Amino acid sequence: MSENVFELPTKLLIGHATIDEDHARLVRIINETGHALQKKQFQESTRLIVEFIEGMKAHFVTEEDILMETKFPWIEEHVASHRQVILKLPRLIDDSEKVMDGEQGWNKLVDELVECLMDDTFKADMMFKSFLEKQST
Ligand SMILES: [Fe+2]
Ligand SMILES: [Fe+2]
């Protein structure tokens, strides 16, 4: 197995087991996609991209439930940021076809997957992390 194309920095651990496990699973899918694309295993990479898209959507549902349970005060903003990411997801399929046709490099597609995940993990979930930290003190 070649090296990981992407690793989630530990400072991006939220401190909620379910959320962190979901993020870690999405990171694994990104890495597997990168390896499949590198080896031109396009059937596998397409399957993984679909799994990533479905995984992101399922993650948002799970996360929004947790935000509600914990009475996170900025839930509306957070849900809106999830919607923004959902709008970007179908583009991944188009760009995956471009990679297969040789019109786009595979690294750029992996960057797009990372960007979708980071939009959630880095931009939105960090707010929830500081909220959780304040709750526990
Ligand atoms: Fe989120
Ligand atoms: Fe998240």
Question: 82: CA distance to ligand 2 center in Å?
Answer: 9
Residue 91: the pLDDT is 97
With a cut of 50, which residues of the chain have pLDDT below it?
1
Question: 103: CA distance to ligand 2 center in Å?
Answer: 31
Question: 91: CA distance to ligand 1 center in Å?
Answer: 20
Question: 30: CA distance to ligand 1 center in Å?
Answer: 17
Quote the mean pLDDT of the chain.
95
- Which residues hold their Cβ within 5 A of ligand 2, which is an ion? 63, 120, 125
User: What pTM, to 2 d.p., does this model score?
Assistant: 0.94
Contact in structure between 129 and 70 (CB atoms under 8 Å): no
The structural architecture, per CATH, of the domain 15-136 is: Up-down Bundle (1.20)
User: What does the domain layout of the chain look like in residue ranges?
Assistant: 15-136
Q: Give the other-Cβ count within 10 Å of 136's Cβ.
A: 6
Question: 122: CA distance to ligand 1 center in Å?
Answer: 9
Residue 2: the pLDDT is 59
Question: 132: CA distance to ligand 2 center in Å?
Answer: 14
Residue 131: the pLDDT is 95
Question: 128: CA distance to ligand 2 center in Å?
Answer: 9
Q: Give the other-Cβ count within 10 Å of 17's Cβ.
A: 8
Tokens of 98: 């471009």
